[in-house]
Structure 1
Amino acid sequence: MLYAVICTDIAEGMPIRQANRPAHLEWLKAAGGRMKIAGPFLSGDGQAMTGSLLVVEAADITEAREFLATDPYALAGLFSAVDIKPWRWVVGQPAEA
């Protein structure tokens, strides 16, 4: 099943984000096919990252939570909130999905 994950950064979280970004990007790459899409939310002017959107594949919500807990951003305390919702890909789905 797919899960949409909406992460909101803590106020003034940019130093945490910057310090952990290389490890986070490696974590995303290491996830392989279970990571369907990922990218940051941006401030209104597009200059600062304020959170993250991920779509991950997992057997169930427990597996999704366990996987997401290993994100270097989560381990560093970057997020003030994480919302995980079951999700169905309808439009724009890649051929291999």
Structure 2
Amino acid sequence: MLYALLCSDKHDHLQLRLDTRTVHLDYLNSLGDRLKFAGPFLGDDAKPNGSLVVIEAADLAAAKDIAANDPYAKAGLFASVDIRPWNWAVKNPDNK
């Protein structure tokens, strides 16, 4: 099952995001094939203010565990994280 992690940063926490970015990216890369895609949301100022991460997980509990272990989450960057089951219906490279 795919899960979309919709993460919103706390206001005025850009420096924390920048300081934690390298370990966050290392963590995402360590997920291997479980990570489908990821990237930041951008504000009107074109600066990151949240994240979209799509992962494959056995169930919601496993998706929550992946989200909780993200270095951004551990550092307290996010004001909220919404985890939702997601169906990749269009342009899914696994459906050739």
Per the normalisation by structure 2, the TM-score is 0.95
Aligned twin of 1:28: 28
Deviations 1:18-42 (A, max 9, x none): 1100000101111100010100000
Number of residue equivalences: 96
Structure 1: which 5+ runs fail to align? none
Q: Supply the RMSD in Å over aligned alpha carbons.
A: 1.3
1:64-83 alignment runs, 5 A limit: 64-83=63-82
Aligned twin of 2:49: 50
Query: What is the distance in 1 between the residues matched to 2:39 and 2:49?
Result: 11
Aligned twin of 2:41: 41
What secondary structure sits across from 1:19 in the alignment?
helix
Query: Residues 19 and 96 of structure 1: is their aligned pair in 2 closer, same or farther, counting only changes over 3 Å?
Result: farther
Deviations 1:44-92 (A, max 9, x none): 232x100000111101000100111110000000000000000000111
Per the normalisation by structure 1, the TM-score is 0.94
Structure 2: which 5+ runs fail to align? none
- Deviation of 1:96 after TM superposition, in Å, equals 7.0
Q: Which runs of 4+ in 1 moved over 3 A?
A: none
Query: What is the distance in 1 between the residues matched to 2:73 and 2:61?
Result: 16
